[in-house]
Structure 1
């Protein structure tokens, strides 16, 4: 990869780097709106009362619901952590601090996703 020769090339490279996080932030936001509506409907309106652990366990025995919950968890993690990254990127005083915070956010995201996979896999 060569260094950009003009300010326009530099701006285009930056725009390309920022496009995917920006687009995925919007996509995961849409997924969260739809996914949380489905989640809310299923847990609050379609299960007879009272909601018990056994009823939740019965729903989570279906692999489709486990995948739905994992997908919702992944979307929420990406959306939340990418949002934090964007805010921190605006206020971090140095490149080193941004790198450290980025590493911490990656670790938090991966560990949380692995815990979610472990917990939900136990139900399937």
Structure 2
């Protein structure tokens, strides 16, 4: 049974861009997470992972782009999921606006810091 909402549908209700992007990011995350686990947990074993190896992988433009997209999509998917769970629980008014602002800021800060760390691990800049 879907929660009653006023206005635009949430990501948990069919229709709308939020619903579509939540599904697209989920599909992308499944594929990239499988790649990540295969590469860093099966192909390379934990004892083989070094900073130098990470730097070498992150210095490859394709790998860097994939990991950066992983960061951005995981952040969107998580923040959007938390926000929509709160909306479905009945958050309204000023609390809803505060949640949008806080979660939006947290998402931006996470992507900025993740990008800084990713760039620090490369020789691309």
Q: What's the TM-score bracket when you normalise by the shorter of the two chains?
A: 0.7 to 0.9
Mean Cα deviation higher: 83-92 or 71-80: 83-92
1:109-120 superposed matches below 5 A: 109-120=107-118
Bigger Cα Rg: 1
**Secondary structure in 1 aligned to 2:44?**
coil
2:22 corresponds, among 21, 25, 50, to: 25
Q: Deviations over 1:43-87 (max 9, x none)?
A: 122236522222222211112111111100111111111100111
Gaps in structure 2 of 5+ consecutive residues: 1-5, 10-14
Number of aligned residue pairs: give it: 112
CA contact (8 A) 1:92 1:98 kept: no
Which stretch of structure 1 is more off in the superposition, 51-60 or 114-123? 51-60
- TM-score, normalising length from structure 2? 0.80
Contact conserved, 2:22 with 2:77, CA < 8 A, in 1?
Answer: yes
TM-score under structure 1 length normalisation: 0.80
Residues 32, 70 of structure 2: 8 Å contact kept: yes
Residues 77-96 of structure 1: matches in 2 within 5 Å? Answer: 77-96=75-94
1:56 matched residue in structure 2: 54
Q: 1:74 aligns with which of 72, 87, 110?
A: 72
* Deviation of the 1:14 alpha carbon: 3.5
2-structure distance, mates of 1:108, 1:94: 20
Structure 1 unaligned residues grouped into runs of 5+: 1-10
| SS in structure 1 at match of 2:43 | coil
For the structure 1 residues 54 and 99, does the alpha-carbon distance in structure 2 shift closer, same or farther, using more than 3 Å as the test?
A: same
Q: Which has the higher helix share?
A: 1
Q: Specify the SS of the correspondent of 1:45.
A: helix
- Return the alpha-carbon distance in structure 1 between the equivalents of residues 25 and 91 of structure 2: 28
